[in-house]
A = this chain, B = another copy of it.
Amino acid sequence: MSLDYILLGLLREPASGYDLKAVFDERIHYFWPAELSQVYPAMQRLEDKGLLRSREAPAKRGPRRRVYQTTAAGHRVLRQWLDESPELGDERIGFLAKVYLMDELRDLSKTRQYFRELREICATRLEELQAIERGWAAQDPHYPDALSARMFHVSLTLRKGLSSLATHVKWCDESLRRIEARMGKERSNGRTIPRHTLDSHRGGHHRTDRVLDSRSRKQGRPAAR
């Protein structure tokens, strides 16, 4: 349901669905991704409820655009939502689910490889956010201070991203240390490299050939693909 409220918040300035999609992909997607196919119907619903109003906008360069904006009722609804207590909500963290079960592979070098890749992904995204912050600092001489109320709140969220990702990278590093220490112990305990590594043929089969790919009808033969 947060999407509706985010829309009300973003449409305090008038914008089209298409405009909004750009905003989502640029700034919002870090905490709330959205697709156009979800945004358009949502805006229509909110207009039907009287929380948004829209008008046909003269289109320079392109076809007709419908521009939406939050109404007074929309502002009230938004403020009521903002005034509610925070909730952590249910986060689904797929990469942790994998780590939790990864003993199944019986091969710590696989776990190590997993953490190395994860570290890379997070470090890259961290740099992305650091670049944003540098940009802000560059065009505002007393950056973290003297911000508008709007930017102040936005900067609180940026800081969250920055600190979360930095910690994430540190966790990967700590994990890699533990994994390597453990691998060292395994070797010195006389265990040789696990034989399961035989499975690693047909090089680099990342993200291909999903087996569990769609719901099968009852009694459908599993092989029938």
Binding site for B on A (CB under 8 A): 1-2, 4-6, 9, 12, 28-33, 45, 48-51, 73, 75-106, 108, 110-111, 114, 117-118, 121-122, 125, 144, 148-150, 152-154, 156-157, 159-160, 163-164, 166-168, 170-171, 174-175, 178, 182, 199, 205-207, 209, 211-212, 215-216, 218-220, 222
**Residues of chain B lying within 8 A (CB to CB) of residue A156:** 99, 175, 178
Contacts of A12 in B (CB 8 A): 104
Contact partner of A149 (CB less than 8 A), chosen from B2, B103, B159, is: B103
Residues on the B chain within 8 Å of A4, using CB: 212
Q: Contact between A89 and B92 (Cβ–Cβ < 8 Å)?
A: yes
Q: How many copies does the complex hold?
A: 2
28 A-B interface contacts by CB (under 8 A) = A29-B90, A32-B94, A45-B215, A48-B219, A49-B212, A50-B222, A75-B104, A79-B105, A81-B98, A82-B105, A82-B110, A83-B110, A83-B205, A85-B117, A85-B207, A86-B95, A87-B95, A88-B95, A88-B121, A91-B91, A103-B149, A103-B153, A111-B153, A144-B178, A152-B178, A156-B178, A163-B171, A164-B167
CA distance A81 to B102 in the complex (A): 10
Q: Is B88 within 8 A of A31, CB to CB?
A: no
Given contacts A12-B104, A85-B114, 9 further A-B contacts (CB under 8 A): A9-B100, A30-B96, A31-B93, A31-B96, A49-B212, A51-B212, A87-B121, A111-B153, A163-B174
Contact indicator B100/A94 (Cβ below 8 Å): no
Q: How far is the CA of A91 from the CA of B170 in the complex (A)?
A: 20
Chain B residue, CB-CB nearest to A12: B104
- Complex Cα distance A218/B50, Å? 11
Given A77-B211, A104-B75, A111-B153: A97 touches B50 (CB 8 Å cut-off)? no
Contact indicator A91/B90 (Cβ below 8 Å) = no
